[in-house]
Structure 1
Amino acid sequence: MRSDVNILIVLLVFLISIQLKAQEINGGLLLNNNKEVMLSLESKSAVDLFKQFKVDAYKIGFNFKADGLKKNEEGEFVVFFDFMTVVKKDGRTIRKVRRHIPMPYFPGEMFLPAEAFDFIGVLSVTSWDDMEKRTFVPQQKSGILKSGKYEVQLSAIPRDVKGKIDPVTFGFVVE
């Protein structure tokens, strides 16, 4: 009986030490250093919104810290992330897109391009009446946004590690 108790104690200490060494991250996405932003669009064009991101009027910041990560074969700390985009119009979800091809990132602070997410593509087709057909004919579609209140949430979802990256949300109104 005493030997069973000793084995149980050793096993508990081992499990606790593994838990303390668990790989964990925390961080967030920001747009111009804010978690929530209301944008002022220069036009109704999704392509013009993309231009605003390209000329750095809007910067997507990404930062995270990591604890207990193991180094990869090259001796670096790397975390893989899936990126998710949720676009809503007038409170209704238009599209939710998750990229299941993970991208590697190093802990720290960095900027992400708009292309890391799918909001420009989703917004470009919101004016289509036949979105469900998923037929892309760019010459016939202008990418002009319909009137309404839009909300975009961008998320980074870590793969194979515990923790969370806080999402960023931005919105705008098209009249």
Structure 2
Amino acid sequence: MKKIILTAVLFGFTSLSFAQLVQGEIKISEQSKVEITLKSNKIVNLYADFREKKHPIHFVFTGIDIPQNSEKQQVVQFVFNTIVKKDGKVLGNIKRSPIPFFPGDMLMPVETFDFIAVLSNIQTNSNEKISEIPKGNYEVILEAKPLGVKGEIQSARIFIKI
């Protein structure tokens, strides 16, 4: 009898711990990994390409038993993290404050991830060389971590060659 009760209690806790779950992905141009070759070493041109939606960033997630806010809407807070590497060495790692989102498909502005700012500040340039970055191979990792619920969002990677 004790085993049955213990099993029922453990099953109850296990099912409760998996009740709230999110799954999703971040994609750039409908891919989880994308390569971009820049014609110049001015990162402002890459920024312009993102602003002109040449490389749209989509954030998609679904959920099960997501908590509801006071207006009965399902909302999940996410922390966006951006890691920037050059030739395998980490240049920057930026975490944003939590941002609430509804489940679904969202087109994200490039500013959500701050990698343009990290790349723009690699070196100090004069006015004629604003936003120039050294030639090399860069990798940008875009992540979204849910707060208060279990689950995982598949990250996206951008490989930039200059």
TM-score clears 0.5: yes
The CA deviation string for residues 45-70 of structure 1, in whole angstroms up to 9 with x for no partner, is 11111111101111001101101112
User: Would you say 1:145 and 2:133 are equivalent positions?
Assistant: yes
Unaligned runs of 5+ in 2: none
Residue matched to 1:75:
72
- Runs (4 or more) in structure 1 with deviation over 3 Å come to 4-10, 137-141
1:138/1:11 CA distance change after superposition, 3 Å: farther
Deviation per CA, 1:86-117, whole angstroms, max 9, x where unpaired? 00001111111111x11011111111000101
Instruction: Report what 2:48 is aligned to.
Output: 51
CA-CA distance at 1:17 after TM superposition: 4.1
Residue 103 of structure 2 is aligned to residue 107 of structure 1 = yes
CA–CA distance in 2 between the matches of 1:138 and 1:98? 28
TM-score by length of 1: 0.84
SS at match of 1:29: strand
The DSSP-based 3-state class of the residue aligned with 2:98 is strand
Unaligned runs of 5+ in 1: 129-136
Matches for 1:1-175 after TM superposition, within 5 Å: 7-8=5-6, 10-20=8-18, 22-99=19-96, 101-128=97-124, 139=127, 142-174=130-162
* Deviation by residue 1:127-166 (Cα, 9 ceiling, x = unmatched): 33xxxxxxxx985861101011111011011111100001
Q: Distance in 2 between matches of 1:149 and 1:9?
A: 54
Q: Number of paired residues?
A: 162
Name the amino acid aligned to 1:84.
N
- Distance of aligned partners of 1:55 and 1:72 in 2 relative to their CA distance in 1, 3 Å threshold: same
**Larger Cα-atom Rg:** 1
Q: Distance in 1 between matches of 2:23 and 2:126?
A: 40
